[in-house]
Chains A and B, each alone.
Chain A
Amino acid sequence: MVDIAFGPELGRRPDLADNRKDYLEMVRRKRMYGGLLLVLFIALMSSGWMLADDRNAGGFWGGLHQVFDFPSEVLTEAWDKRPNLPALFSKHLPALIETLNIAAVATLIGAVAAMSLSLLATRGLARWPRLIPVFRRMMDALRAIPEIVIALVLIYILGGGPVPAVIAIALHTGGALGKLFSEVAENADLKPVEGLASVGANWSQRMWLGVIPQVAPNWLSYALLRFEINVRASAILGFVGEGGIGHDLKLAMQWGQGRYDQVVAIFLLLFLAIVVIDRVSDHYRHKLVKGH
């Protein structure tokens, strides 16, 4: 304060009497930058959409009125054949269960991998502090590879079926959850760890008894969220690759007219499963994070 008020040079002293002008000047500058950014953003967006429209097979305005053609065609046919729906539900239920199993097993395996990876990559907790960057980069790489890449390559080696999808999703989950887990573990209280160290506990005992109980609610909540995401991923992988309800959907879609009742049945199953899982996991996540 003293430096400012009694600064050496007269000209560099802030003119306290006239601060209103400076303030308005600052506001104007800020608004100008904001406006420039906004113009730049709008230009980027509009040119981007124009370019994307240009490179698309069908144009936006030409396709717009067709958006509802396909759903309405599907729905009318399904409505005509609505007595078939219950039978179709039970026919495709096993595929839905397979999709859910893929997601669940992948989440379990991925979460276990993420637990150890995250503890090894957290400052203050790591077993080998020098190797923290190695484990971090490892998680980055696991996160960066899209599931579809691993799944398609594995289908070539392992043949079809759910296992390639499980491995692909589990690898990705390991990386994604590892990062979130390690952010939670960074904030863990180190006192229990020190206490355990003082009674001679080894690293895994310190982690299991000192850290895991603290972070378990948050970790579980993240794992549940990941399970939601993985259900969707496993449906998409089925559509592109093999196995599960996504594959059934692709087959029915490829058949086209005449099997639209199947399309609707599969779609309803998938929709209901996703909504129910979202609801249940939302409920439990709130309970876990915000207390009972």
Chain B
Amino acid sequence: MTTSLSPSLAESVNRRFDRKRRMAFAVPAAIIAYLVYAAISFDIAGLVNRARFDNASILLSDFWSHKTHVTRDNRNGKLTVAIEGESKGTYPEGMLPDWVSVSDGVTTIDLGDGHIVTYDQAGARYVVPGYGTIDVRPDGDRPVITAPEPIPDWIAVAENRVGVTTTAGRFTYTRSKVETFKYHAGWELWFFTLDSPFHGKGFGELAALALSGDRIDPDRSNLGYMASEFWTNRMWRHGDVAWAIFETILMAFLGTMTAAIVALPLSFLAARNFMPLGIFRGAARRVFDFIRGVDGLIWTIILSRAFGPGPMTGAIAIAITDTGSFGKTFSEALENIDEKQVEGVRSTGANALQRARFGVIPQVMPILLAQVLYYLESNTRSATVIGAIVGGGIGLLLTQAIITQKDWEEVAYYMVLIVLMVMLMDSLSGWLRRKLIKGK
């Protein structure tokens, strides 16, 4: 018996080992081949040429710092000092930062570390320590530069433009204007804008004002004034941002809960043990499949055509998409229940609705709740994306900030807020899950 079996056994074992060994090489080889194909089709080589690493450095420096533009219009001699060059960050007439001074039509800008820029009637000068003085005068239409030879490569001289980039700042001279950028760490005007009476005060001063100082505006307390100045900050729009975050969470909450409420009765139709009629079961399942297959993107587009942009459109889109997913998972949970409990309830003469309420729901509730809470968390993220498409919530603010391609500090701010929001919802849903399912 054994002698007749062993050769074929050994053979089959060997064959299996061979196959395993071949697979161990074939699978990684196939994956690598696929990645190579993908790299070629994604044009990785071309990407290296197209990548703009100067953009990356702008973005990174903007994330944690801001710049102040000191601009003089060369036609009328008007001087503007503006944070990020934006009108809402412009210093009002007669107010200048302490590193800019004007006397007799001569503007002196102290960039720190001995870097001094001077605008005067004849042109502009930039004193760079360790190098010398760069002097720019207009000659007719074009600027003429006088600087120690040879001119280093951080000074860019073109036909009608002179640019100087140093560690302290940037300086540009063109026919129409001369402009100096000074960089500061931190996000600008985060608490109060320049036109607010609280701008430029330290924490101690503000606390003193809030608690005991004389009222700046006689109609309201200093603390209330401060809060409203902060809330309506034109640069950062804290009030609008808070609303946007709330809208995003609202979209996720309404969408998820509505989907769960709609999907629960429908999922009974799709479960084998509750719907013996194959036609209805198949129909319900096909409906769920269709809804999931159409995908949130398409639903969002269709709905935003009908309802216009806003949080309700996003909430309905989430609700429809998730009805499909919930319907599928709920009906799977219903198919896996223990029939004994249902029979027990039936033996007391309960009707179908009562059997469902007391025999089925208590069994599947933990699974359903876990699913719903998990989706609530993941929908907070989706609501950001859907908001970008339908135009609502923090997603809209974020895409707007990214499209302007200059307010990167706002992008960083929104990113931080989104991450915090998602993490908050994550821990909230985890906490609820523990509380509701595992019991206290």
Residues of chain A touching chain B, judged by Cβ–Cβ distance below 8 Å, are 41, 44-45, 48-49, 51-53, 55-60, 63-64, 66-67, 69-71, 98, 101, 104-105, 108, 140-141, 143-149, 152-153, 156-159, 161-163, 166, 232, 235-236, 239-240, 246, 249, 253, 267, 270-271, 274-275, 278
Contacts and interface: CB of A to CB of B under 8 A. Distances in A.
Contact of A71 (B38, B302, B307): B302
A267 B293 CA distance: 10
8 contacts: A55-B247, A108-B31, A144-B423, A144-B426, A145-B422, A157-B52, A270-B298, A278-B289
Contact of A70 (B47, B257, B305, B311): B305
B385 A240 contact: yes
A98 B40 CA distance: 12
B385 A148 contact: yes
Interface string B242-257: 0000010011011001
A51 B42 contact: no
B415 A149 contact: yes
B389 interface: yes
A152 B402 contact: yes
A63 B422 contact: no
A52 B42 contact: no
Given A45-B254, A249-B297, A278-B289, 13 more contacts: A48-B250, A55-B247, A55-B310, A56-B307, A56-B309, A56-B310, A101-B41, A141-B419, A145-B419, A152-B399, A158-B51, A232-B295, A246-B297
Interface string B412-440: 00010011001100100000000000000
Contact of A52 (B31, B254, B308, B419): B254
A176 B103 CA distance: 61
A271 to B, nearest CB: 5
A51 B312 CA distance: 8
A51 B52 CA distance: 43
B93 interface: no
Interface of A is mostly: helix
Contacts of B298: 267, 270
A232 B297 contact: yes
B76 interface: no
Given A140-B426, A157-B52, A246-B297, A52 B47 contact: no
Contacts of B251: 52
Interface of B: 31, 34-35, 38, 41-44, 47, 50-53, 55-56, 59, 247, 250-251, 253-254, 257-258, 289, 292-298, 301-303, 305-313, 315, 381, 384-385, 388-389, 391-392, 395, 398-399, 402, 405, 411, 415, 418-419, 422-423, 426
A222 to B, nearest CB: 14
Nearest to B294: A271
Contacts of A163: 42, 44, 47
A270 B418 contact: no
Contacts, number: 172
A52 B310 contact: yes
A274 B293 contact: yes
Contacts of B257: 41, 45
Contacts of A48: 250, 253-254
Nearest to B261: A45
Nearest to A152: B402
Contact of B312 (A49, A232, A235, A249): A49
Nearest to A69: B306
B297 A98 contact: no
Interface of B is mostly: helix
Contacts of B31: 108
B415 A145 contact: yes
B419 A67 contact: no
Contact of A157 (B53, B258, B293, B388): B53
B59 A70 contact: no
Contacts of A267: 298
Contact of A57 (B250, B307, B384): B307
Contacts of A44: 253
A156 B402 contact: yes
A108 B38 CA distance: 12
A57 B385 CA distance: 18
A117 B56 CA distance: 27
Contacts of A162: 42
Contacts of B38: 101, 104-105
B36 to A, nearest CB: 11
A153 B56 CA distance: 9
Given A60-B312, A63-B306, A146-B422, A157 B254 contact: no
Contacts of B253: 44, 48
5 closest cross-chain pairs (CB), A and B: A56-B310, A57-B308, A58-B308, A63-B307, A56-B312
B422 A144 contact: yes
Contacts of B422: 143-146
